[in-house]
Each structure stands twice: as C-alpha cells, then as structure tokens.
Amino acid sequence: MRARRGGPARPKLAPVSGEEVLTIKDLRVEFGSGPARTTALRGVDLTLRAGKILGVAGESGSGKTTAALAAMGLLPRAAAVQGSIRYRDAELMALSERELRGFRGSHLAMIFQETSTALNPVIRVGDQLMMAARTHASGGKAEARERVLAALAEVRLTDAERVMSSFPHELSGGMCQRVIIAMALSCGSRVLFADEPTTALDVSVQEEILELIRGLVGRRQLAVLMISHDLAVLAEVCDELAVMYRGEIVESGPADAVLRQPAHPYTRALLDCLPTLHTRRETLPELSSTAADLEAATGCRFRYRCPWASEVCEQHPELEPHGGGGHRLVRCLRTDAVLASDARPDASEPAALGADASALPGADASAVAGDQVRCS
C-alpha cells in the first residue's frame, strides 16, 4: 500500500506503437562546483517511442549513461540537472524523489552492464524478484508470484523454480541479465534503459539477449533506450540511432540510414573502428584523444580529431536537419564535404586537412593522425 502513495495516479493504459512515451528535451547535467565543475550533458534531446529501440552510441564519457541515469533520477546528489524529461503526461523533472520512486520500476526501469553483480549476492533470486514485484502492486504474495513466474517465462528462463531458489552466483551472466529484465517486466515497466546490456556477455549469449529485448519490444510495446559503444550491437536491434560525443548528440536519425551514410565525421570514425569480414586489417584505426582535444570548450568539440575540420569549425555547430533524407539531424558544419567523400580521408596524411591545419589553435598533427587500435 505504502508504495503506491508516491506513484502516479493515472491508469496504466498500454501505449500504442510509435507513441512518444518518454521525451527528453534540452537535458543539461553538471557535476561538482567551482573550478572542479564539469559538464556532462550540454542540451540533449531524445525521444523514446513505444515498440521502438533508440540506440545511443558514443565513447566512454560521451554522456550516454548520464542521460539515462538522469531520466531515471538516479544521478548522485552532486549532479545539477536541467531540462525537461516527460514520461507520457508527467513531467519527471518536477517530481520529488519520493514521487519519482513511484515511476521507477513500474514505468521506467534500467538494466546495466554488470550482470553477476547487478543482483544482490546474499539474497535468493526469487526473493529479489518478489521484493521488486511487490513494491509496485497492492496485491498479495500469490499474485506477485504469478507475475514473477510469468515474467520469467517471458524472458525464457524455463526452470523458474530452480532460478528462484538460486543465489546470483549460481546463475550465468546471461541468466542474471534475463532475471533483471524479468524484474523490470514484473514491475510493469514501459520504458527500459539498457546500459551496455550485453557488453559483459560472450557473443552467443549477447545475441540471445538482444533477440529477447527485440522480442519484448514488439510484444509489450516497450520503449527501449539501448546504450552501447558497439555500433555492431546497435545496428542489429535499433530503429533509431543517436551518436553522442562529449555531452552532445552529434548525429541522429533512423538507424539504418545513419549507419549506411553517416553524416558526422565522428559516426564515420566509429564505423571505421568496426572490424568486418570483408576487410583485412592489421590494426584497427584509432580515434586518438589528446589533451588539446579536451580544451575544445568552444566550437565543434570534435574538430581536433576530425580530418574534415576547417576554420568554420571554430563556431559551435547546431544539431540541424540535413539532406540525407528521413528525420536526420547532424551537428556538423562540414556535412556536405563529409557526405561528398565516399570514404574517410586518409587520416595518416595531414595534407587532407589542407591549409586549414595551421588555422586550428593548438592542433597537433599527431592528434588527428594517430592510427592505432582503441575505439571504445
């Protein structure tokens, strides 16, 4: 009973496919204060639709996870969050922690990269599932148990009795991830933030989990935000794709269109990092990162690493529609040049930068020319 007090009062009508379930607008997050202040998100817009998967790609520190945690209200107290996060007809930013808790689990849930440590090591899996299931419903134990069993069946954990009586360390990583997904389902979540849900799993299990999520999205009209640094994973399951770089979205649009014809140099660079069956390479290209790069407080933040960078890039580009078709947005002033070139200009030739190289303050040829492995 107590759990319901903070919860939303409106009935939980199932969303229709394509309905905008969660809308994030101009989300800004800063950590710390004074000189130690760092900006994690600089105005991010994301829209999650029922029955669709939105992929968010980007390297570590690009703000992918911060965005999801902000939407869940799970950022540490030291974080200053601004902007708007709407879940259906509720503005989550206006809610107290207590009210927000009524949305967590029952409307919004989040699963993480850690699989074996994401469940409490000293509590039986069944008890953890029951605890979550009973938090969000007034029904009795038997009813909660039914929901848990149904959810376990839905994530295709067949031997539910055995799973429920196990401790997390007795289950495999893939099974733990299924249990957590089942936990979200048994609570009735409509939105699922999946933060690198398959990164810790081996490839065959990864495939199963992705397929499972895909299936749930179709059946349950879940709205999923799938975070990954791995474009191959996102390419497989996402409807829409947003690429983030240093706290900003640099490119977004329908996943296949973005991946087929990336309009932002960073998206291209990420794609170049994917090993394919068709190209044999001794080393994968590196997206180098240098100190100079972090100083880019103004202008395009990718310009020190960008082979297309020119003088115009000292101005900060807006996220704007471009001619690539669909609802595609890109944050790049040189998109035309990027789209015009079939391949990424050979980064090992500083000449590709042309006369512009000297125009970049502090630009170091090595910052753009580094060519070793390291993509994530």
Partner 1 sequence: MYRIIVRRLATSIPTIFVSTVLVFAMRYLLPGGPVEAMLGGGTGQYTPKQIAAIKARLGLDDPVPVQYWHWLVNVLHGNLGTSYYSQAPVTTVIGPRVAPSLELIIGALLVSTLVGGGLGILAAIKRNRATGRIVQLGTGLGLSVPDFWLAAVAAGLFGLTWHILPAVGFTPLSQNLGQNIHTLILPVLVLSVVTGSFLARHISSAMASALDSPYIRTAWAMGLPPHKVYLHCALRNAVAPVVTFIPLAFTALVGGTVLVENIFAIPGLGTEIVSSVSNEDFPVIQAIVLIVGVLVAVLNLLADTGLALLDPRIRNAISD
Q: Indicate the residue among 103 and 304 with the shorter CB distance to partner 1.
A: 103
On the CB side of 26, CA atoms within 13 Å amount to: 4
Q: Indicate the residue among 112 and 245 with the shorter CB distance to partner 1.
A: 112
| Single-letter amino acid code for the residue at 45 | D
Instruction: Take residue 4 and report the two structure tokens written for it.
Output: 């319901």
Note the helical H segments in 140-253.
141-154, 160-165, 173-187, 203-220, 231-237
If one asks whether residue 257 binds partner 1 (CB under 8 A), the answer comes out as: no
Among the listed ranges 100-108, 143-151, 212-220, 238-246, the one in contact with partner 1 (CB under 8 A) is 100-108
Distance in angstroms (rounded) separating the CA atoms of residues 168 and 178: 12
If one asks whether residue 157 binds partner 1 (CB under 8 A), the answer comes out as: no
CA-to-CA separations, 369 to 60, 89, 236, 286, in angstroms, rounded: 21, 49, 30, 9
Q: Indicate the residue among 138 and 366 with the shorter CB distance to partner 1.
A: 138
On the CB side of 297, CA atoms within 13 Å amount to: 3
If one asks whether residue 135 binds partner 1 (CB under 8 A), the answer comes out as: yes
CA-to-CA separations, 275 to 117, 204, 216, 372, in angstroms, rounded: 30, 18, 29, 13
Binding mask 55-84 for partner 1 (x = CB under 8 A): -----------------x-x--xx------
If one asks whether residue 87 binds partner 1 (CB under 8 A), the answer comes out as: no
If one asks whether residue 169 binds partner 1 (CB under 8 A), the answer comes out as: yes
- The nearest distance, CB 103 to partner 1, in angstroms, is 7
Distance in angstroms (rounded) separating the CA atoms of residues 1 and 168: 29
If one asks whether residue 294 binds partner 1 (CB under 8 A), the answer comes out as: no
How many residues contact partner 1, by CB under 8 A? Answer: 34
- The nearest distance, CB 111 to partner 1, in angstroms, is 8
Among the listed ranges 128-136, 147-155, 269-277, 290-298, the one in contact with partner 1 (CB under 8 A) is 128-136
Q: Which of 27, 23, 86, 18 is nearest to 53 (CA)?
A: 18
Q: Under the rule (CB under 8 A), what is the footprint of partner 1? A: 2-3, 72, 74, 77-78, 101-106, 109-112, 114, 117-123, 131-132, 135-136, 167, 169, 180, 183-184, 187
